[in-house]
Amino acid sequence: MMPYRPAVRMVPGPLWQRNLRKGRFIPTSRWDKIKAGVFDQHGLTCQTCGKVETEQKRLNVHEEWEYLTDRRPAIARLTGLKISCWHCHMIEHFGVLENMVRSGELTQQAIDNTVEHFCRVNKVGRDEFNEHLARAKTEWAHLNQLKWEVDWGEYAAVVEETALKRKQRGRRCEEDRGEEDEDQALYHWPYLHSGEPW
Ligand SMILES: [Zn+2]
């Protein structure tokens, strides 16, 4: 069976916060430049479903990871960055979406529309989605149990350079602050609260 695109691939718990975008591993200014480069290259188009947006804020630069679990510790490798529309991104991070609905920030409609998007893009029915989701959750529960090392892929050099500079400065960078924020803060995009219909 062909892998689904988009697919539910929730980030294992031990790897939360380990990403490029929050200023913890590279400066936020550097991340902004990387992001701008991705948009320059691909425009305002979701690289998963092809949806074209008119505003950059409606798209996310999604980090794609592969999880190598045939070794200990397991390795999470950053394989690339991809422009993702809101629905494709929420499919990838389906657990975040469910939490936002649970907390009342979004309604059930957001889940329904996201599942509909999955079915439309992958040309499958709701049963296939449910089966895929159940599998993804089982896999995620397994990945949550592992110890992990991060391989930053093509960004390894900049991560290393940042760590070195920060060490030399002997203090934590401005950007480090707030790293404890729940990762979900990322999804609090302004237009979510604009009353715009799904
Ligand atoms: Zn998309």
Q: What is the pLDDT of residue 68?
A: 97
Tell how far CA 42 is from the center of its chain. Answer: 18
Ligand 1 centroid vs 147 CA: distance in angstroms?
31
In contact, 76 and 146? CB cutoff 8 Å: no
Average pLDDT for 169-187: 52
Neighbours of ion ligand 1 (CB under 5 A): 46, 48-49, 51, 85, 88
Ligand 1 centroid vs 115 CA: distance in angstroms?
12
pLDDT at residue 186 greater than cutoff 70: no
Ligand 1 centroid vs 48 CA: distance in angstroms?
5
Average pLDDT for 144-155: 97
Average pLDDT, the chain: 88
State the Cα–Cα distance between residues 63 and 14, nearest whole angstrom.
Answer: 16
Number of Cβ within 10 Å of residue 6's Cβ equals: 23
Q: What is the pLDDT of residue 74?
A: 97
- pTM (2 d.p.): 0.83
Ligand 1 centroid vs 121 CA: distance in angstroms?
8
What pLDDT, in 10s, does the model give residues 76-99? 999 999 999 999 999 999 999 999
Ligand 1 centroid vs 169 CA: distance in angstroms?
41
Higher pLDDT, 2 or 27: 27
Ligand 1 centroid vs 114 CA: distance in angstroms?
10
Ligand 1 centroid vs 8 CA: distance in angstroms?
13
What pLDDT, in 10s, does the model give residues 156-173? 999 999 999 999 988 655
Q: What is the pLDDT of residue 175?
A: 54
Q: What is the pLDDT of residue 66?
A: 96
Ligand 1 centroid vs 86 CA: distance in angstroms?
7
Cα–Cα nearest to 55, from 194, 184, 181, 183? 194
**CB environment 115-135: b (16+ within 10 A), e (fewer):** bebbeebbeeeeeebeebbee
Ligand 1 centroid vs 161 CA: distance in angstroms?
33
pLDDT at residue 187 greater than cutoff 80: no
Ligand 1 centroid vs 15 CA: distance in angstroms?
24
* Structure confidence at residue 134 as a pLDDT band (50, 70, 90): very high
Q: What is the pLDDT of residue 179?
A: 47
Ligand 1 centroid vs 108 CA: distance in angstroms?
20
Ligand 1 centroid vs 164 CA: distance in angstroms?
37
Average pLDDT for 49-53: 97
Each domain of the chain, given as residue ranges in start order, spans 13-193
